[in-house]
Structure 1
Amino acid sequence: MGSRKKTISAIIGLVIFLTILHLLFVTYDHPLVWFELHLGSPERRHDQTTNEAKNWSQVQQIQMARRERLRQGCAAVGYKQRFVIQNLDRSTLKKFSRIHVIPELKAIYCPIPKVASTSWRRLLLRATKNDASEPVVHSKRVFPKLSSFPLQDARRILKTYTTFFFVRNPYSRVLSAYKNKLLSEDIKVREELERWYKQHDPQEVKNMNSSDHFTFKQFVKHYIESDAKNPHWEDMMELCYPCEIDYDFIGHLETLKDDSDYLIDLLNIPDGVIFPNEVKPQTNSSQGDTLQMFYSQLANGQYRDLSFSQGLARDALLFGYDTPESIKRV
């Protein structure tokens, strides 16, 4: 009798299982899809717009190439011994005053102006359940800075946290800074250039009035000759020190969505916190026709001086960027 009951129970259980399996096939085409959707899959998390599996192996291969290029570039510009974790001292740590530490995610992020830094700060604030309103996103106190930690803690953080930053083609970044800060009449930046010109080339601004824009040629002259650059166009190397910090991930603005989606998985950022499908560019400074419109204003000599300037040339070398096709000259 007991054996018969066990047999009946087993048959009922099998029928229920097959019924559920049939429903999964009907609803999801394949039962494994249900498990991926509900239990999570590194290839599917955070892609709410297409539900297409991401090929993270391709992103990882690209990262290996970017990091190797950076290693070779650092050696080429004179860094014989990279990375400062073991030999980190207080004077070196002070340089890292722009680098954000996000303890909740065990992450270090170095924001570079004009490279989706606002979008990434907003995402990190949401991921850590902080206020992500405009005033907070643009505050200098969004996250603690690496330079504010005791030396031993800073060493531990550099050794154990995931480190990342994003870069872009230096030619388009220079133009983006000009359009965003000088064509849009950022008063502080305008006054900064006025002071520099009055000290170094007063004749250039002698007849300018408050309604006149600085031209792109004038801006490039300041960029080439000024010893102290505004962070919005400061060399990317000088902002994030990639020859001294061993970054785990180097994102590119040109592959922003894929790089960001991968990082969101890597940092275990909660579901529902996603990077926008499209980050609307404020200045369209990566577009070929926009680049050509402005760079064509430069005489050959100034264009050459810009291309061979230490900051732009070094950033291009370290991060693998060529001169955009639309502005190349023979």
Structure 2
Amino acid sequence: MAQYSGFKQLLIYAVSMFIIALSFYQWDMSQRKQEERIHETQELRKQPLRETCAGDKETFKHRLEDVRNNELANLIVDDKHGIIYCYIPKVACTNWKRVMFSLTKDEPYPDPASISPDLVHLPNILPFLNSFPRSEIKAKLKHYTKFLYVRDPFVRLFSAYRNKFQEHNEYFYQRYGRHILRLYANQPDPPQSLKEANASGMRVSFQNFIQYLLDPLTERNEPFDPHWRQMQRLCLPCLIKYDFVGHQETLQQDASQLLKILMLQDNIQFPPSYENMTTPAFLLDWFSAVPLEDRRKLYELYEQDFRMFGYKRPRELLDG
């Protein structure tokens, strides 16, 4: 009887070990499949980048020697974790800056959601790549993990318009709004302040904004503001071989994957973000006020962003 009891206990132990081993195997297989899916997704996102860069050696910059320091102004460096993040305005950049700021602190890292959005946009709060000597820049670009987040170019453009010209933003009214009203809205003497403009019902229309972008003098006088500058110009993807390309459209999922790749998933949490409400129908409604020819010219202006980052040509906006 004692022999039978001992055998039973041994059997129970063996079954328990088998269940544990099976569970570990299933977990390991699940992790492997997840890693494979991430790798496949990233390859799909990087392929158009490689093809576009390889197909045009003249338009895009491929060598660090050809790049001025101010062209590296959007690259944030984290030496402690070996990370470089290229931020693109209107593509979750505030939340990623909050993450990068948290990582500059000692562990346990502060919750990025607790950090003021205004703080991370202040000058000299975060270390930028162009603050280092060229030899260090080259070494960091070679060895650090580099990532960026992109977005449908027209949705990003519309988001910039709404944020800077529909919401109360005195700086952008003074910096761009009065100029746009003067040149494209037949207002030779626009109101001196945004408050006065709002009181008189005077606003920069979406069509006025597009006219401003399409005017050759705009780019000739000075580079586009970063909020509507082309993404490929901000992040130089033909020079910098990004290890991870995130999409605004799958922001939370991509953020979770990236934090795992960086081995930070247990140390920091990406702040929750609102769901993008800009649907194709919504975008079409706003673009309907823009002449078809201007829409086509606008696509040409941002075509490299569409091509490089795998976004389809918006036929419903361009084919009439």
Letter in structure 1 aligned against 2:57: G
Cα deviations by residue, 1:49-108 (Å, 9 ceiling, x for unpaired) = xxxx97231221122232221122123443489643xxx349634421220001122110
CA RMSD of aligned residues (A): 3.3
> Partner residue of 2:293?
301
Letter in structure 1 aligned against 2:162: K
CA distance in 2, matches of 1:104, 1:36: 34
Q: Structure 2 vs 1, CA of residues 112 and 214 (structure 1 numbering), >3 Å: closer, same or farther? A: same
- The alpha-carbon deviation at position 109 of structure 1 amounts to 0.2
Q: How does 1:138-287 map to 2 (within 5 A)?
A: 138-197=121-180, 200-201=183-184, 203-204=186-187, 206=189, 210-211=197-198, 212-225=202-215, 226-227=218-219, 228-276=223-271, 279-281=273-275, 284-285=277-278, 287=279
Q: Structure 2 vs 1, CA of residues 42 and 118 (structure 1 numbering), >3 Å: closer, same or farther? A: farther
90-99 or 75-84, which deviates more: 75-84
Gaps of 5+ in 1: 1-7, 45-52
CA distance in 2, matches of 1:92, 1:245: 14
- The alpha-carbon deviation at position 136 of structure 1 amounts to 2.6
Would you say 1:116 and 2:92 are equivalent positions? yes
- The alpha-carbon deviation at position 139 of structure 1 amounts to 2.5
Asked whether the 8 Å contact 2:182–2:190 carries over to 1, the reply is: no
Residue 203 of structure 2 aligns to a residue whose secondary structure is: coil
Gaps of 5+ in 2: none
- The alpha-carbon deviation at position 18 of structure 1 amounts to 4.7
CA distance in 2, matches of 1:318, 1:167: 10
Would you say 1:69 and 2:59 are equivalent positions? no
Letter in structure 2 aligned against 1:321: Y
Q: Structure 2 vs 1, CA of residues 22 and 62 (structure 1 numbering), >3 Å: closer, same or farther? A: closer
> Partner residue of 1:50?
none
113-122 or 173-182, which deviates more: 113-122
Q: Structure 2 vs 1, CA of residues 234 and 18 (structure 1 numbering), >3 Å: closer, same or farther? A: same
CA distance in 1, matches of 2:127, 2:48: 30
CA distance in 2, matches of 1:166, 1:205: 40
> Partner residue of 1:321?
311
Asked whether the 8 Å contact 2:180–2:209 carries over to 1, the reply is: no
Asked whether the 8 Å contact 1:113–1:232 carries over to 2, the reply is: yes
Residue 80 of structure 2 aligns to a residue whose secondary structure is: helix
Letter in structure 2 aligned against 1:214: V
Asked whether the 8 Å contact 1:251–1:260 carries over to 2, the reply is: yes
Q: Structure 2 vs 1, CA of residues 82 and 113 (structure 1 numbering), >3 Å: closer, same or farther? A: closer
Would you say 1:57 and 2:36 are equivalent positions? yes
Cα deviations by residue, 1:234-289 (Å, 9 ceiling, x for unpaired) = 1101111111211112111122233222211111114052335x5204x733x123
Task: Normalising by structure 2, report the TM-score.
Answer: 0.79
Task: Normalising by structure 1, report the TM-score.
Answer: 0.77
Moved segments of 4+, more than 6 Å:
34-37
